[in-house]
A and B are shown apart, each in its own frame.
Chain A
């Protein structure tokens, strides 16, 4: 009797296995397919509009030609501002968590809160900065946009700084202490150097994250049709211009939006690939 049942059972199990394996292959192809489709569409729609004029001319009024110079510069200014504000705070907080208070209760609370900030909806951060900066100042400004982006930079930098400093072997700290270095110097001169590549990765990842962020800029730095590097006034940024131009009924604006989208995506992908290349593969997982 068992001789008759077993073969059919085996083939059933084999069939299930084949189906599941096939589905796994299909799912992977499905996931990778979207990446190809989106990048393909971006290249197809955005590449034709790519020219020198895009980088040298201002955003045009509807119906005439122009470029994306002021939003590109605006985005660069906002990003630099956000990194300048966010990185020191993030690095210091990460330092406390990895060096001074590694086993503190404060550290575990901060780590938990930081992880939540890391994935908090960015539009809520925009509302927060609107409430604390734009409303009291009475006008939209580049400062507010930079601070809103800095709030997004901080959790990324805190996380990577803590992780990377934790990987620094204790023997290095002990050696530093044994030659009489005070704690602060052993951290800044020894541990930071040992963890430098990883910490740089954190900053690059943060830049990659904020350079495409639109939602927090909508009600902080707003937009500016003209050339402006005044941080006290509304300032133009690439994502907000893409948002505005893509939803407009004008063909010129829509095609500029696609070109802008291509520029942002290439920049972001280049940044995240560089960031990955900086970290040796065994630390990655």
Chain B
């Protein structure tokens, strides 16, 4: 192309020379830019592999000393350099489970409200307000949880649970012990508020993507609004909804600051959800700067690696499911 354009200009060799030079510069610039963008894209991949490699590298001393037992040991004693990850893993899983137990039904119902019941002009403001919850930094949830929410729970909900469900045989042990205010349950509740916007916004998006014809057909058969959502919208959007839930779960598992404030940082596994506990991220945030000795630091980095592996699996599954539904809609 360029050569053809040039051949018309033979009459003025000096000018042609300048043009050739200019074109050469442009071509060079083009190649440089192209390779720069490619390098940046590869850089994103390197970033993630860098995270994984550095975490593995940092946790080698801990895994060498404790072996596989690190994952199932309940001890955490910095004085004798004896570490086990089980209480932190347990706390992470249980707080996230409580969070999802509340956030999933509430998020689904809000999405139901936003897509089927809410008047058109109110949809955007309410949607944005819910998403603002996601924008509030986690340290704000932490300070609010510690000074306002935990004392409130200690005075109201927790004594109530202890006096009612606490006396029921079987599940009674879940609600045994004094009302501390801070603890596993409080962390779970705060996490529920934090992941609610993620579950809601993704569920709303996949609900909105359900073809109108399907819903109209169901309404035409005489279904009520709830029956349409329950029997048409939900089954159609199922994969996307599960993807959204997993994405919220990924957030809840890795959430640090809010939990650090209200979990109590106690390295033990209690049957009661009212008792203080710890999570992986809270342990790292609380102890990393005070960790003396290579083994202590390495044990904390190993906890970080475990957290990263768990969230990676959850998030990868979430993305895979969301990609599947995008492909079906797209």
Contact = CB atoms under 8 A, between A and B. Distances in A.
* A pairs with B: yes
A219 B110 CA distance: 38
Given A121-B308, A268-B137, A131 B110 contact: no
A21 B229 CA distance: 11
Counting chain B CB atoms within 10 Å of each CB, the highest count among A92, A97, A109, A211 belongs to: A92
A121 B311 contact: yes
B38 A101 contact: yes
Contact of B143 (A14, A23, A117, A257): A257
A110 B45 CA distance: 6
Main secondary structure of the interface of A (DSSP, over half): helix
Interface string B224-236: 1111011000000
A127 interface: yes
A163 interface: no
A149 to B, nearest CB: 13
A35 B42 CA distance: 39
A148 to B, nearest CB: 11
A1 interface: no
Nearest to A238: B139
Interface of B is mostly: helix
Contact of B36 (A30, A92, A213): A92
Contact of A119 (B29, B247, B289): B247
A110 B138 contact: no
A222 B230 CA distance: 50
A45 interface: yes
Nearest to B250: A119
Given A92-B40, A96-B40, A119-B251, A151 B47 contact: yes
B33 A276 contact: no
Interface residues of A toward B: which range?
A: 35 or more
Nearest to A180: B5
B41 interface: yes
Interface in A184-237: 184-185, 187-188, 208, 211-215, 218-219, 222
A79 to B, nearest CB: 13
A30 B197 CA distance: 12
A232 B324 CA distance: 46
Interface string A16-37: 1100110111111011101100
B68 interface: no
Nearest to B224: A17
Contact of B113 (A27, A100, A211): A27
A41 interface: yes
A269 B135 contact: yes
Interface stretch (A55-63, A167-175, A258-266): A258-266
A92 B110 CA distance: 38
Contacts of A47: none
B130 interface: yes
Contact of A97 (B36, B41, B51, B227): B41
Interface stretch (B52-60, B153-161, B171-179): B52-60
B180 to A, nearest CB: 16
B124 interface: yes
Interface in B56-76: 57-58
A121 B117 CA distance: 35
Interface residues of B, number: 94
Nearest to B26: A182
Contacts of A116: 48, 312, 315-316, 319
A268 B315 contact: no
Contacts of B54: 127-128, 131-132
B32 to A, nearest CB: 8
Contacts of B200: 31
A176 to B, nearest CB: 13
B284 interface: yes
B106 A212 contact: no
B264 interface: no
7 closest A-B pairs by CB: A212-B137, A121-B254, A92-B40, A27-B109, A96-B37, A184-B33, A17-B224
26 contacts: A13-B227, A24-B117, A25-B117, A28-B110, A31-B197, A38-B136, A93-B41, A106-B38, A115-B315, A117-B44, A117-B47, A122-B256, A123-B254, A123-B304, A124-B55, A124-B254, A128-B50, A132-B54, A184-B26, A212-B138, A214-B139, A218-B285, A243-B260, A246-B146, A261-B143, A268-B135
Given A38-B140, A257-B143, 13 more contacts: A16-B227, A25-B113, A28-B110, A28-B118, A38-B136, A89-B43, A95-B37, A115-B315, A123-B307, A128-B54, A212-B139, A218-B285, A265-B137
Interface of B: 26-27, 29-30, 32-34, 36-45, 47-48, 50-51, 54-55, 57-58, 105-107, 109-110, 112-114, 116-118, 124, 126, 128-133, 135-144, 146-148, 193, 196-197, 200, 205, 208, 224-227, 229-230, 247, 250-251, 253-257, 260-261, 281, 284-285, 288-289, 300-301, 304, 307-308, 311-312, 315-316, 319
Interface of A: 13-14, 16-17, 20-21, 23-28, 30-32, 34-35, 38, 41-42, 45, 88-90, 92-93, 95-97, 99-101, 106-107, 109-110, 112-117, 119-125, 127-128, 130-132, 151, 154-155, 158, 182-185, 187-188, 208, 211-215, 218-219, 222, 239, 242-243, 246-247, 254, 257-258, 261, 264-265, 268-269, 272-273, 276, 281, 285
